Chains A and B, each alone.
Chain A
Amino acid sequence: MNRNFSREVENNMVNVLEIVEDEYIHPGTRMCAGCAMSLIYRFALKALGPKTILTVPASCLTVLHGMQGFCTTKLSVLHTPFATTGASASGIVASLEEKGLADEICVVAFAGDGGTTDIGIQALSGAAERGTNFIYACYDNEAYMNTGVQRSGSTPLGAFTATTPGGKTRPKKNMPKILEAHGISYVATANGSYPLDLYEKFKKARDIKGTRYIHILSACPPGWGYDPKDTIRIGRLANDTGFWPLYEISNGKFALSQPSKKFLDPAKRKDIEQYLSAQKRFSNISKQDIETYRNYIRDQWNEIKRRLENQ
């Protein structure tokens, strides 16, 4: 039970009642019970509003939109081949510019971690380098879930997947850092367990020009191995252990987001074992890998601290 019901609400800029009441996804989708991506998409669309065109590559999110003839969302969605997300967004933007609609309509690419960190990275990097005027959102469930949990570049160290039966031997690729290196106007991290923070970030990104990148940790009950009711709790642990800090970088200026701020103090962080032991995918993780996690988290936060002090 979450006794801190007002924690996010009180600390945040928005109140639950200030969130747009309109829903853009009809209930009765094909997503698993307890899917964080459904919640993430729900709040992202609320923040983006009806004047949005989406482009989506193969992923669980494709399936959310439904089979031929009918769909679940009330917005325009282009289903694009896997590697082409960034390129297809560039094409939509070019056509809107030609029609004089570029200021009115927001173009948003929404892709999984496989489609972003591996298969679509070239097209995304190209679009970001050109400064294409669009939002790229990656929902990161840390594997190729739609095809049965194969490892991606975003799968974390020690995680079991169908293609890493002994646990992944390499760490997670830091995609937000890669996008930041492109010098784009906005980079942010988010987490499905903090829908108010996520909502604010999409609203903010909508009003910025240039390439905006939002990377969202998205808990997945069947892929991560936990009970669907625990989706929010698991995502919260990723934040509270310091593993997945929430931040935004607007025109080079770094700021920690409210849910992660207090974890600058290492004493406030929970031990990473609480996060790992709650998920079956880490059930065979070695002591050595857990130590690697502890060092990674320590170094990550030292870097954040230095950055905040020196900017």
Chain B
Amino acid sequence: MTDLKKDYQKILASVQKPVIGEAGKTGTWSRLKPVIDLEKCIPAKSGKFICFNCWLYCPEAVVSREIPPKINLEYCKGCGICMEECPVNAISMEEVKFE
């Protein structure tokens, strides 16, 4: 095998693997975490697939589009966008103990 071919095989062998948490548990970046009040949340209250602003605007894609929406706090960076964009103020940022 020529050296060039060997180099090419090395490159192929180092193809990167997609992983969750490439930067570690980004949930540790913030003490404050979003907590959804299910008494206020529109889909949780109505049982209808409407709203999901928290799912739509989350830059980290850690909110699920289900009833009720769930937030993966292991990777949520605590930016607070979901709190700001919730139309009925159902989300508050609270100190959540994170292991």
Report which A residues bind B (CB closer than 8 A): 1-6, 16-17, 21, 23, 25-31, 33-36, 38-39, 42, 66-74, 195-196, 227-233
Contact = CB atoms under 8 A, between A and B. Distances in A.
B80 A34 contact: yes
A27 B87 contact: no
B86 A33 contact: no
Given A4-B87, A27-B72, A232-B57, 7 more contacts: A26-B19, A27-B26, A30-B22, A34-B59, A70-B16, A230-B84, A231-B59
Nearest to A3: B87
Contacts of A5: 51, 53, 85-87
B20 interface: yes
A2 B84 contact: yes
A228 B21 CA distance: 21
Interface residues of B, number: 40
Contact of A67 (B22, B26, B55): B22
Interface in B1-56: 14, 16-26, 29-30, 49, 51-53, 55-56
A229 B87 contact: no
Of all A-B residue pairs in the complex, the 4 with the closest CB atoms, nearest first, are A229-B80, A5-B87, A28-B21, A27-B75
B70 to A, nearest CB: 13
Given A1-B87, A2-B86, A69 B81 contact: no
Nearest to B22: A66
Nearest to A42: B61
Contacts of B19: 26, 66, 70-72
Contacts of B53: 2, 5
Contacts of B21: 26-28
A30 B23 CA distance: 5
A196 B57 CA distance: 10
Given A29-B26, A34-B81, A23 B61 contact: yes
